[in-house]
């Protein structure tokens, strides 16, 4: 136990699951995913079989209407591009960079879709009551690290060719364009931010005026493009990757016009491929690795994308009780109180910074299960096949309403009730700009939360995740925001310096851990998550104080929740790109840095889990 706590707790399960899954990776998230898939499957079957029992105006009826058009394969073939056709024709007819940018702006304004220049309305970092216009990286279809991988290059070329051929291009020509576009994606990816850079708030928060932007984007009229896109009412512009501006500007030349036209066509068809005919659906399904699904399942996948929060509303009503919501809220309240007490015990923070930190906890918004008020882009906006509706027209109608909603944010205060995840999603997050933690309903069930389990068991499973998300308010990124979600360094200079030194120790500590033979953790890439893991465990450990048996139960529950059968090769791939440390490191590495673990299990020098006190990574 003191040599390998993770293996001691999970060894039997790992052996069983490896046999059951024939060597494939498995973890508790996979187990929960299977459960949620069954739950969502029950909803889809009910909507398909009992569509007529729901009254008009109900969320069930609206989702059923979309589902009916998704299942209508003949209607999808006949519909063709529908009212997407004029946008595709507009791209095809472009004869100048000025005209290209105008069409690009119209597509963003009317459909909310992006390609070369990505506009996103997000909370203003320096004034969290208002939205700012963020300028993000171009649509690359795959992430930077995937475009630097041989398999990723093969996948994207195959996909681009499939989309071009589905749209009527001959094989030889599609291959030529496939090669050109792959080179384009690779070149764009070269200027894209790495995952470590994306976590650097200072690097990604760049306020630029229109004049600043114009100086960098000399081959376009910046103000006109912003107006054409519908975002002229936004006061501030925030550029996420300033070096990308030079790359974009370099492509805005007449010599690149045909390349840009094909690129934007692919981007638009990629956005709507799941709602078009079978050739597009199959190309999209293969690219997104769902090609083995039955036709009905693929149809439901398209519905899930279009009506995510509507399905979430149905899911929450069916599977998440008010009693469970209240119980989880009570647990969160306990952890928040424990966190404040824990902050007071820290010997490296000044009284001034402690008060700021506790104030941040006092003002942290807690969202459990589902939104109090749902914003629907589906209600009254879609048609069933009986009403002459088609899937592509429903998709376009929803996209247009979403686009209009985004543009309207320029003159509205920030909606604090908005959720970034729908209730049926298995995840949770902390949002610095809103100083809030969000836990969708799907996450709040076995194996992470059990209403009949002991307090210590739940504390070690879902409680550790809750405390983890709270700790993100104080990690290398979250610590730069105050209690109102404003980008403000509220630390004293001395405390910030101490934080920086401790962060270096985290990078060194976790970077020295060999996750699998021959491959160590990237301490810099995983810094924020490691701070959240160790801080979360420290807080819930302090809540159990001197109850040794409860501590033991909690630590075992924590280890159990992160059981995984990931292969060494998959782990090595994870180490290169995932900001989270592998499961075994998340248990053994974190617990070896946790003083209460030593007390609970009498870990001593000579035990493999033992780390000298001065070498343990500690922040909170």
Tell me the pLDDT tens digit for each residue of 474-533.
999 999 999 999 999 999 999 999 999 999 999 999 999 999 999 999 999 999 999 999
Comparison of pLDDT for 525 and 48, the residue scoring more: 525
Please name each of the domains of the chain with its CATH number.
26-80+276-319+376-411 (no CATH), 83-269 (1.10.1380.10), 323-370+418-615 (3.40.390.10)
Q: What is the mean pLDDT of residues 118-130?
A: 98
Q: What is the mean pLDDT of residues 177-202?
A: 96
CB-CB contact of 476 with 528 (8 Å)? yes
- Strand order, beta sheet including 118-124: 118-124, 127-136, 237-239, 206-207
Binned at pLDDT 50, 70 and 90, residue 618 comes out as very high
Question: CA separation (Å) from 358 to 72, 173, 355, 556?
Answer: 55, 62, 5, 29
- Tokens 């882009």 correspond to 377
Cβ neighbourhood burial of 485 (10 Å; 0-12, 13-18, 19+): buried
Average pLDDT score, the chain: 96
Q: What is the DSSP string of 204-215?
A: H-EE--HHHHHH
What is the residue-wise DSSP string for 188-204? HHHHSPPHHHHT-HHHH
- Residues 233-244 have pLDDT tens digits of 999 999 999 999
User: pLDDT tens digits, residue range 537-549?
Assistant: 999 999 998 899 9
Does the pLDDT value for residue 231 go beyond 70? yes
Residue 163 DSSP label: H
For residue 91, how many other CB atoms are within 10 A of its CB? 22
252 has pLDDT over 80: yes
Tokens of 235: 């006061």
User: Which candidate, 559, 319, 328, 548, places its Cα nearest to that of 450?
Assistant: 328
Question: Is the model's pLDDT at 352 over the cut of 90?
Answer: yes
Cα atoms in the Cβ-side hemisphere of radius 13 Å centred on 87:
25
Q: How confident is the model at residue 23 (pLDDT cuts 50, 70, 90)?
A: low
191 pLDDT higher than 80:
yes
Would you state the pLDDT for residue 391? Answer: 98
Whole-number percent of the chain with pLDDT over 90: 93
Q: Indicate the helix (H) or strand (E) that contains 135.
A: strand 127-136
Q: Is the pLDDT of residue 53 over 90?
A: no
State yes or no: pLDDT of 377 exceeds 90: yes
Contact predicate 252/217, CB 8 Å:
yes
Average pLDDT over residues 143-171: 94
Distances (CA, A) of 328 to 360, 460, 620: 20, 14, 23
Tell me the percentage of the chain whose pLDDT exceeds 70. Answer: 100
Residue 223: predicted pLDDT: 98
In this prediction, residues 25-40 reach a mean pLDDT of 94
pLDDT of residue 21 exceeding 80: no
The sign of the torsion formed by the CA atoms of 326, 330, 332, 333 equals positive
Q: What is the mean pLDDT of residues 30-49?
A: 93
Its pTM stands at: 0.93
- pLDDT given at position 349: 97
Using DSSP's 3-state secondary structure scheme, residue 519 falls into: strand
Backbone angles phi, psi at 521, to 5 degrees: -70, 145
Q: Omega before 447 cis (within 30°)?
A: yes
């Amino acid at each position: 136990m003191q040599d390998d706590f993770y293996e001691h707790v999970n060894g039997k399960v790992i052996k069983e699951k490896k046999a059951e899954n024939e060597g494939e990776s498995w973890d508790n998230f996979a187990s929960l995913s299977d459960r949620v898939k069954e739950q969502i499957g029950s909803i889809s079957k009910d909507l398909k079989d009992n569509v007529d029992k729901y009254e008009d105006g109900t969320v069930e009826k609206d989702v059923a209407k979309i589902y009916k058009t998704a299942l209508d394969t003949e209607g999808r073939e006949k519909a063709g591009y529908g009212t997407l056709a004029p946008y595709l024709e507009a791209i095809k007819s472009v004869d100048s960079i000025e005209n290209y940018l105008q069409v690009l702006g119209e597509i963003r304004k009317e459909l909310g879709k992006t390609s070369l220049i990505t506009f996103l309305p997000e909370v203003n970092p320096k004034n969290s009551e208002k939205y700012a216009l963020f300028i993000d990286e171009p649509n690359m279809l795959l992430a930077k690290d995937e475009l630097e991988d041989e398999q990723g290059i093969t996948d994207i070329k195959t996909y681009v060719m499939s989309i071009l051929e589905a749209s009527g291009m001959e094989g030889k020509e599609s291959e030529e364009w496939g090669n050109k576009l792959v080179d384009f994606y690779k070149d764009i990816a070269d200027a894209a931010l790495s995952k470590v850079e994306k976590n650097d708030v200072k690097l990604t928060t760049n306020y630029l005026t229109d004049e600043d932007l114009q100086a960098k984007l000399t081959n376009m009229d910046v103000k006109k493009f912003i107006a054409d896109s519908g975002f002229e009412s936004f006061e501030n512009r925030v550029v996420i990757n300033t070096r990308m501006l030079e790359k974009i500007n370099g492509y805005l030349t007449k010599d690149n016009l045909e390349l840009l036209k094909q690129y934007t066509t692919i981007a638009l068809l990629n956005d709507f491929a799941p709602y078009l005919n079978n050739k597009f659906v199959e190309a999209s399904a293969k690219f997104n690795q769902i090609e083995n699904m039955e036709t009905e399942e693929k149809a439901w996948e398209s519905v899930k994308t279009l009506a995510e929060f509507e399905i979430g509303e149905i899911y929450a009503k069916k599977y998440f009780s008010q009693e469970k919501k209240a119980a989880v809220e009570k647990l969160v309240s306990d952890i928040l109180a424990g966190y404040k007490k824990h902050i007071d015990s820290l010997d490296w923070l000044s009284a001034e910074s402690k008060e700021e930190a506790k104030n941040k906890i006092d003002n942290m918004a807690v969202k459990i299960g589902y939104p109090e008020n749902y914003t629907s882009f589906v209600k009254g906006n879609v048609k069933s096949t009986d009403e002459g509706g088609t899937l592509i027209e429903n998709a376009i109608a929803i996209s247009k309403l979403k686009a209009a909603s985004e543009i309207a944010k320029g003159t509205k205060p920030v909606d604090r009730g908005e959720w970034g995840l729908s209730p049926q999603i298995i995840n949770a997050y902390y949002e610095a700009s809103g100083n809030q933690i969000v836990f969708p309903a799907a996450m709040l069930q076995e194996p992470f939360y059990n209403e009949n389990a002991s307090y210590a068991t739940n504390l070690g499973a879902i409680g550790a995740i809750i405390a983890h998300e709270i700790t993100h308010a104080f990690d290398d990124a979250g610590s730069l925001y105050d209690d109102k979600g404003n980008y403000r360094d509220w630390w004293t200079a001395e405390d910030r310096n101490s934080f920086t030194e401790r962060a270096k120790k985290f990078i060194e500590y976790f970077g020295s851990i060999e996750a699998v033979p021959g491959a160590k953790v990237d301490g810099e890439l995983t810094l924020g998550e490691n701070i959240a893991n160790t801080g979360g465990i420290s807080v819930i450990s302090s809540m159990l104080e001197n109850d040794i048996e409860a501590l033991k139960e909690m630590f075992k529950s924590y280890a159990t929740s992160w059981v995984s059968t990931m292969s060494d090769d998959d782990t090595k791939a994870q180490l290169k790109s995932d900001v989270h440390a592998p499961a075994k490191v998340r248990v053994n590495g974190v617990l070896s840095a946790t003083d209460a673990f030593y007390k609970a299990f009498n870990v001593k020098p000579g035990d493999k889990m033992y780390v000298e006190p001065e070498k343990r990574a500690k922040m909170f």
